[in-house]
Structure 1
């Protein structure tokens, strides 16, 4: 015997009876959607290949269709999330812009339509916060809370809104400055690294400065490429600092305009085990 179909109204009624705090209400729908709405990669392929029919375009943001089929792309996630929030008088906006990913560590707004993206801003206790329900699961091995109430300083590493006010930064940045920022996967911060690495240089060397990670097991590997396809090892010099460490390498060793890729390895000294995690961050020199 099949289980009865849950309706949107059932979820709203459940939350109405059990949750009063508006931020917790938003979190409930963030997690429920992450658990129950799959990312629609087939639809994404059609969008990118310009083979989307008018019906499919309409369905991509039709919340009844999305809820029934349990699959969506970013505009669908954002629209359904906003509908749930509206039922509880939580003010929200759908933010449209671009996403920086490991495929595309720099953006050209005129041509990079494949990297258009949508997420949400919602107003809680008179303060706007940023939420990306899509990315809570799409690029993660498991559902993460990283993309709920994202620190704007971290969000701007990967999300560039068309309207700069939704950067929620004291001093919004241009697309040129955005492209100078690294792409950093949420995994980097979730391992315990507190800050984005600082990149400096002088006439001879580049310096990658990291703050200490409370979890001492993480090892960093740096490689470089000119095409984001073929990578070669950097072989940097390791320098221990008071509150972190620095990787130093010669400019003669790495060509101008290279992309530096950072991989992490979890080294368990006690068990003598190493678990590598590739493509955690990309930096444009």
Structure 2
């Protein structure tokens, strides 16, 4: 992971906006894995346990995700104080590859035994366990979008890592780092809160928050401009399949007195929809109308609206936009 200047990977997601109950979030695979020991004698023993309990590659890949998310914690101290890059010398390509493998093996073992890591450790352990079960898995490095300040950024940076796993001839997107929890800025500590939504995530949602360094791993039609200028979506958006139809850009140009139109799929009048003004006071949406399986409404861009506007549904943040005054 690059030095401190990189964006906090997922660390400013609001504590209130991510919580839901264990029973609501977990599949049968997760419930079985939750009863596993927190420690195994080796990664091979853990892989054997998963292979014995689950017969399909999909369930095994999910079990790896669940066990890591339940048991490996994000090392926030290491994130703030990253170790120096480990260099080495070599006299041949074979020796170079051996030393790279040794460094990676050490990272995997450290993550597995210490039960803490940053994203490199999470992804390396996930890939290792998948390989023990004969499941093809890649580590992808790239940019992540986690703050309103990321809306409209000019460039991407390599500040995060995730996995892609091949199951039933289809590459599945996996971010187990984000599946294990989040940083609670009000308490100054990490909070363990298992989230299943970053296993086999819908690419439309995943690539709204991730952009790979290599074009080899781009989704269909994904562009750097779309990523940088798109709106910021949140965990609950993915969990409840709230599709942001309008505006289609995360940057809204408006002048005072304009009414900005929003349309969000899978929301209805039975939901409480509001936004926060620049004094962080909730403003309830009054003019919403149901349209095409969603809700359409307008917000008046007046002096009470700040630089960013975040839409909430039933107390959960759903989407944020940046507003530029004309």
SS in 2 for 1:121: strand
**2:244 corresponds to which of 196, 219, 225:** 196
2:231 pairs with 182, 189, 192, which one?
182
Q: Secondary structure at the match of 1:157?
A: helix
Q: Does 1:241 align with 2:284?
A: no
CA RMSD of aligned residues (A): 3.2
CA contact (8 A) 1:95 1:121 kept: yes
Deviation digits for residues 226-271 of structure 1, max 9, x if unmatched?
Answer: xxxx65766755231333322213345577x932112333xxxxxx
Q: Distance in 1 between matches of 2:170 and 2:39?
A: 38
Change beyond 3 A, Cα 1:141–1:17: closer
Q: State the alpha-carbon separation in 1 of the partners of residues 70 and 287 from structure 2.
A: 42
For the pair 1:209 / 2:263, whether they are aligned, the reply is yes
Q: Judging changes above 3 Å, is the alpha-carbon distance between structure 1 residues 213 and 249 closer, same or farther for their aligned structure 2 residues? A: closer
Distance in 2, matches of 1:6 and 1:38, equals 19
After superposition, where does 1:3-152 map in structure 2 within 5 Å?
6-47=41-82, 52-54=83-85, 62-102=107-147, 104-106=149-151, 107-109=153-155, 116-139=159-182, 142-152=193-203
Query: What is the CA-CA distance between 1:217 and the residue it aligns to?
Result: 5.1
TM-superposed CA distance for 1:41, in Å, is 0.5
Q: 1:261 aligns with which of 306, 310, 314?
A: 310
Q: Distance in 2 between matches of 1:102 and 1:218?
A: 25
Q: Which residue of 1 aligns with 2:3?
A: none
Is residue 282 of structure 1 aligned with residue 320 of structure 2? Answer: yes
Q: CA shift at 1:74, angstroms? A: 0.7
Inter-partner Cα distance in structure 2 for 1:198 and 1:96: 30
Residue 231 (structure 2) pairs with residue 155 (structure 1): no
* Residues 1:130 and 1:193: Cα distance change in structure 2 (over 3 Å): closer
What is the deviation of 1:193? Answer: 4.5
SS of alignment partner, residue 129 of structure 1: strand
Offset at residue 134 of structure 1 (A): 0.6
Q: Alignment partner of 2:113: what SS? A: helix
Partner Cα separation in structure 2 for residue 26 and residue 4 of structure 1: 19
Q: Is the 8 A contact 2:289 2:295 kept in 1?
A: yes
Q: Give the gaps of 5 or more residues in structure 2.
A: 1-37, 87-102, 183-190
Distance in 2 between the 1:157 and 1:237 partners?
Answer: 29
Unmatched 5+ stretches in structure 1: 266-275
Cα deviation for residue 27 of structure 1 reads: 0.7
Return closer, same or farther for 1:93/1:79 CA change in 2, 3 Å cut-off: same
CA offsets, 1:119-147, max 9 Å, x none? 01111111111011111123386312211
Q: Say which structure is richer in helix.
A: 2
**Counterparts in 2 of 1:40 and 1:126: CA distance versus 1, 3 Å:** same
Q: In the aligned structure 1, how far is the partner of 2:213 from the partner of 2:263?
A: 31
